[in-house]
Structure 1
């Protein structure tokens, strides 16, 4: 059962009845089998996120590929959180994705108000990558602003969905993405020609001290973001933090899109779903 997936960045609502991806195909992955449980673990699931949640490039073309989303997707090779919830009870939750390509945490402060129209039972939050992946290090969101914005996001979710269980995920390891591509001249050339994430990907093959220090500053800032996420979640009623679990996921080359060598492929979406599920399952059992 589907409500809708709200993809603000592409200017239209993205429903989850989209056709399956044909490009960039990967071998099917095992997904949980449906149990005989009589009660659904939750009737509804919402996720607040960015291009990762919209599965940007996962269909092998630019833009969103929501059916491959780690959180709410329907592609069986991904084994999304929604599909895993269905496997526990035999009843798939209604889903809603409040997500935007390039979203920063500040964007979500007001976007989560939309949850009040039909409050979900569970809300997943995966934000922060775009706050560090900026056109320059000067344009990265400061740790202080990030903490304040994230606290407001959780407060907004709690106000809009008073009874929801919230799961707050850490920021994926951005430096790992750089490590996977930095030695490939073609990938470096692609990154050099792109305006995206210059704070991390500029001069990707350079070992000059200034470039090494710049990347280290991005890594350190993400670590501060993760501490802020954990602290904000600890202070919010009904919130479960992943304790850095998503950040600790070690993506491999097959997990990264062949289109831009930065976003997750469908295999990467599946890797994220599997890593996130342990935390969601624990939150559901509370």
Structure 2
């Protein structure tokens, strides 16, 4: 008899709880906190030439760098929550194009990254000839496939996608500098944009405009892919592309890659676009037992 009474009371408690729960109620989870962060992309995220001669300098990366002069996203996240401390990995590889992103994502999944940053595409446009630039549709498909791999491997992970910087801005601020022009010529740096930098011919002006347009189209593709991914992906809204950086933000080894100041600028602008994730509370529906 006692066992029957206890069982009945337990069932009544459950039913009472269900009746007291209004339709559409939610259970609040803890605010999002990344534990393992990974940088994906090309030489920019690798910190190339940010602290040495033609070498990656991951400590100065805008994404996962740990040098205080840059105040990367990682450093800012670490200050907000110690859980991410020491769990930063830089998988960006200089020279990478969109074709290489899937491989980097696979490695990030293997590292169990729950937050990744993506900045890739400059090398899809900075090729020897215009005809070799990656078609926009191909670029978009590659990025979408790479992010699909991340979703499949780390379904609870989040993605921040930074826009590609305006490569025409490089030409605008460096074309009158003989040192910059010398590095561009000797290193054959981004010929599609930076070849014949002093030329004012209609042909060269049109070429530069087309390359810039291609980068803008890549950025539009990034926005579409991120939107399709859902709320776990954040695009920077072309914040990096819009930056009016100066030669003071460029490495003096090539007048192309960001130096520490340039990396800091990217970190500052991109972190401002995602820091609300740290206070966002994830919610999930509470199932009702009684209609």
Q: Is the 8 A contact 2:32 2:277 kept in 1?
A: no
Structure 1 partner of 2:50: 58
| Alpha-carbon separation, structure 2, partners of 1:282 and 1:106 | 31
Unpaired runs of at least 5, structure 2: 1-29, 281-291
Is residue 73 of structure 2 the alignment partner of residue 81 of structure 1?
A: yes
Matches for 1:1-286 after TM superposition, within 5 Å: 41-93=33-85, 94-237=87-230, 238-286=232-280
In the alignment, structure 1 segments of 5+ residues that lack a partner are: 1-37
Instruction: Tell me if the contact between 1:48 and 1:97 (Cα under 8 Å) persists in the aligned partners.
Output: yes
Q: CA deviation at 1:250?
A: 1.8
Confirm or deny: 8 A CA contact 1:68 1:269 kept in the other structure: yes
Could you tell me the TM-score, scaled by structure 1's length?
A: 0.83
Kindly state the Cα deviation for residue 195 of structure 1 after the two structures are TM-superposed: 2.1
TM-score (norm 2): 0.81
Q: Deviations over 1:94-115 (max 9, x none)?
A: 1122211110011112331122
Partner of 1:20: none
Higher relative contact order (CA 8 A, sep 6+): 2
Could you tell me how far apart the structure 1 residues matched to 2:46 and 2:104 are? Answer: 15
1:30 alignment counterpart: none
Q: CA RMSD in A?
A: 1.7
SS across alignment from 2:184: helix
Asked whether the 8 Å contact 1:40–1:91 carries over to 2, the reply is no
CA contact (8 A) 1:119 1:164 kept: no
Aligned residues: 249
- SS of 1:260 mapped into structure 2: coil
Say if 1:191 and 1:204, in contact at 8 Å, map to a contact too.
Answer: no
CA contact (8 A) 1:178 1:200 kept: yes
Shift of 1:158: 1.2
Q: Report the 3-state secondary structure (helix = DSSP H, G, I; strand = E; otherwise coil) of the residue aligned with 2:37.
A: strand
* Structure of greater Rg: 2
Higher share of residues assigned helix: 2
- Is the CA contact (8 Å cut-off) linking 1:255 and 1:267 kept in structure 2? yes
Does the 8 Å CA contact 1:255/1:266 hold for their aligned counterparts?
yes
Deviation at 1:91, TM superposition (A): 4.2
